[in-house]
Amino acid sequence: MIATLKHNSRNYTIDLSKPLDISIPLKDGDGGVNAWYLGPPKIEPHAEDGFIGKVTEGASTNFNDIWFNPHSHVTHTECLGHITETFHSVNKKLKRFFFLAEVITVAPEQEGEDFVISEKQLKYALGNKKREAVVIRTLPNLRDKRSRKYSDTNPPYLMEKAAQFLVKKGVNHLLIDLPSVDKERDAGALLSHKAFWNIQGKPRERATITEFIYVPNKVVDGTYFLDLQVAPIENDASPSRPVLYKILEK
């Protein structure tokens, strides 16, 4: 199915029959991704008063309860409510879902005991391009990102100046294949979150950060259309399914 999207007075053609899903699904038990010192998620039949919600146990339907934390167990999209005293729901803040996006690949640089993504690297990768969304794939890009246990591993993160650069570029939606844009243990500083949402100035209420994506190696760097869908949950963050579509040559 071919569709034409108009962006900034220019028409783009995409093939909706060839989606490139860059989400990591929620899985029961230890098989999925995990961070922030939580146990694994649980997906299990509801049990109450002798009832077990499982067809193989005699129920008419499978009726599962699910326990998880979106920040720890699955690809998720968050809004500024993640770090503000005032409640903000990503379900309310994200009103559009298709964005012109740039996929870039970055090898985090060592700085002391950390590995970081710098402003210089983003400037080099993006050049003069203006995009609503930026998708950052980090190297090495191994498939175990889909099941890695990140707690107490000090993963790479985004430098504050790099986040400020994205704001200046007009990027409203940042997607990254790490558990956070900030350092795992930073005493609550959250410098890149605060910079991207401009917490010290006029807060960017429509901006979002999506973490725990996985961009397969077959997806080459370049320009795509992004379909960013979130589960309709009134929370600062929600499980999400970002999908890329190649732009067809005219």
Q: Which two tokens stand for residue 115?
A: 């590995």
- The CA dihedral of 176, 182, 188, 194, to the nearest 10 degrees, is -70
Domain contains 93: yes
Domain contains 186: yes
Q: Say if strands 237-246 and 76-78 run parallel, antiparallel, or are unpaired.
A: antiparallel
Domain contains 65: no
- Coil vs helix vs strand at 194: helix
Domain contains 44: no
Look up residue 214 and give its amino acid. Answer: Y
Q: Return the number of other C-beta atoms located less than 10 Å from residue 192's C-beta.
A: 27
Domain contains 120: yes
* pLDDT tens by residue, the chain, 250 residues: 888 888 888 888 999 999 999 999 999 999 999 999 999 999 999 999 999 999 999 999 999 999 999 999 999 999 999 999 999 999 999 999 999 999 999 999 999 999 999 999 999 999 999 999 999 999 999 999 999 999 999 999 999 999 999 999 999 999 999 999 999 999 999 999 999 999 999 999 999 999 999 999 999 999 999 999 999 999 999 999 999 999 997 5
CATH of the domain at 174: 3.50.30.50
Q: Which domain holds residue 213?
A: 2-24+74-246
Q: Are 228 and 79 in contact (CB under 8 A)?
A: no
Domain contains 60: no
The total number of structural domains that make up the chain: 1
Q: Return the number of other C-beta atoms located less than 10 Å from residue 229's C-beta.
A: 15
Domain contains 30: no
What is the distance between the alpha carbons of residues 157 and 209, in angstroms, rounded to a whole number?
13
Domain contains 34: no
